[in-house]
Chain A
């Protein structure tokens, strides 16, 4: 399929979706619309809400807060994940000791930690960052751990025969190998950083996209909820695009699988 053909089909899906939504919520069938506008709003109201947010500029503050929280959660979570992943992979005994606890914490639904973080860190951005960190950390940790452990034995033998010291092996073999694994989980990790931020905001905050959606919901402003969701989706797609660009730049050495990307 050509690029233009694909894009027009993708566009068609959106047009059909919004068209149906509009028809079902505004055109009366047998006296009243099939979907009650109170619960489903309609595309025009949602669009005008979004326009109003951007026109007044009020949305930028919320976007900035959510972005800041996501970036902090991603940076701290990745850093911790890389360090601990590296450490565990190189020290199997420590990994074995902590193994059950790592599994336990990872199995815990992170949402239940949100109230604790709010109590500890207050209603500001740090309780949201903490929630994001708990999500990002484990994804990066598991990938780096796996990456370091599965570094090709031939590469390590070659490094040793070339005369590399332990430190040089870390720098030239283990580190790049672990990073490449980390980057393979980059999209997921960034996505979870945003999830952590938004869920945290939703559960208690004074700013951010999650706060916006929660406020709209509190006043039964369905158009506001949908508008918040749409802005959030666009926000995540833009971040994902940025991640793809970074990835392309840093992983030039990796083969591109045909039919991917």
Chain B
């Protein structure tokens, strides 16, 4: 974490604990005392077993969830309410099904009060950037899952947020499409290097994309249990980077830690309390 001291901190979680009240009196602690920093321009991936509260942490950074205790600071100012500096790419389809691709992308500008003609023009430029120049008049149901994700990216990025929050955005896609989307993301990101917090359960994807990989323990009350720098040079190509020896070495190192947590996660979700 020494490198961060110099750079401006985009997102800083300080001992953030998130708990949900369950039926009755019991309280479920999803994340316990998470301390995490994302420097401006840094790409951080959070990896953890299923149900470990990765998305919860992201929602805290977005301001959609309030931590029970601890502090959230965005660009060194305490976060109150929604995080308006952040764009959020959701795991599920979040495009508005009654709007065409072009209108979906333009929406972010229109609600800021940008004139419709200008908003449409800029939206068209963004559709071109994500490789969907001629798909503007399609409705979401007429597009493939990968195309919808591209439109989603354009919808978020057109507002030019300083922070990008991504919740397993490529989770529902097939393996090839994920890699193509990963490369597209890196290409768009390299233009202006926003701070990125990227949640995934795929360690390979995390290493290939990020500057830093953060590992969370199995829930409940998951904690951050590891933080690795990724020494791979940029610009990267997702297909190529996986062949490099450094990639394998880092993957093996992180996996020895992650594996135990994944096993714990499975044991808990199986409900037998151990005994795999």
Footprint of B on A, CB under 8 Å? Answer: 152, 154-155, 157-158, 160-165, 168, 172-173, 176-177, 180, 252-255
Q: Which residues on A sit within 8 Å (CB–CB) of B94?
A: 154-155, 157-158
Q: Which residues on B sit within 8 Å (CB–CB) of A161?
A: 62, 64, 82, 86-88
Asked if B92 CB lies within 8 Å of chain A CBs, one says: yes
Q: Are A173 and B112 in contact (CB under 8 A)?
A: no
CA distance A165 to B108 in the complex (A): 12
Interface residues in B63-120 by Cβ distance below 8 A to A read 64, 82, 84, 86-88, 90, 92-94, 96-100, 107-108, 111-112
Q: Which residues on A sit within 8 Å (CB–CB) of B139?
A: 252-253
Q: Are B108 and A253 in contact (CB under 8 A)?
A: no
Q: Which residues on A sit within 8 Å (CB–CB) of B156?
A: 162
A172 CB to nearest B CB, Å = 7
Q: Mostly helix, strand, loop or mixed at chain A's interface?
A: helix
With A161-B82, A161-B87 known, 8 other A-B pairs at CB within 8 A are A155-B94, A155-B96, A160-B82, A162-B111, A176-B98, A253-B99, A253-B139, A253-B140
CA distance A56 to B262 in the complex (A): 83
Q: Which residues on B sit within 8 Å (CB–CB) of A152?
A: 92
Give the tally of cross-chain contacts (CB within 8 A): 55
Interface residues in B145-169 by Cβ distance below 8 A to A read 155-156, 159
Q: Which residues on A sit within 8 Å (CB–CB) of B99?
A: 253
Q: Are A176 and B87 in contact (CB under 8 A)?
A: no
CA distance A151 to B141 in the complex (A): 17
Q: Are A254 and B111 in contact (CB under 8 A)?
A: no
For B, the interface residue count at a CB cutoff of 8 angstroms equals: 26
Q: Are A158 and B90 in contact (CB under 8 A)?
A: yes
Q: List 22 A-B contacts (CB under 8 A).
A: A154-B93, A157-B88, A158-B88, A158-B90, A160-B64, A161-B64, A161-B87, A161-B88, A162-B107, A162-B108, A162-B111, A162-B155, A162-B156, A172-B96, A173-B96, A176-B96, A252-B139, A253-B97, A253-B98, A253-B100, A253-B139, A253-B140
Q: Are B90 and A157 in contact (CB under 8 A)?
A: yes
Q: Nearest 5 CB-CB pairs, A to B?
A: A158-B94, A255-B141, A253-B139, A161-B88, A176-B98
Q: Are B112 and A163 in contact (CB under 8 A)?
A: yes
Q: Are A168 and B93 in contact (CB under 8 A)?
A: no
Q: Which residues on B sit within 8 Å (CB–CB) of A177?
A: 98
Q: Which residues on B sit within 8 Å (CB–CB) of A180?
A: 98
Q: Are B111 and A168 in contact (CB under 8 A)?
A: yes
A170 CB to nearest B CB, Å = 12
> A163 and B90 in contact (CB under 8 A), knowing A172-B96, A176-B96?
no
B97's closest neighbor in chain A, by CB?
A253
Q: Are B97 and A163 in contact (CB under 8 A)?
A: no
A173's closest neighbor in chain B, by CB?
B96
B108 CB to nearest A CB, Å = 5
CA distance A154 to B108 in the complex (A): 16
A176's closest neighbor in chain B, by CB?
B98
Q: Are A163 and B88 in contact (CB under 8 A)?
A: no
Q: Which residues on B sit within 8 Å (CB–CB) of A158?
A: 88, 90, 94
> A254 and B86 in contact (CB under 8 A), knowing A162-B159, A173-B96, A176-B96?
no
CA distance A173 to B107 in the complex (A): 11
Interface residues in B219-234 by Cβ distance below 8 A to A read none
A110 CB to nearest B CB, Å = 33
Q: Which residues on B sit within 8 Å (CB–CB) of A155?
A: 94, 96
Q: Which residues on B sit within 8 Å (CB–CB) of A160?
A: 64, 82
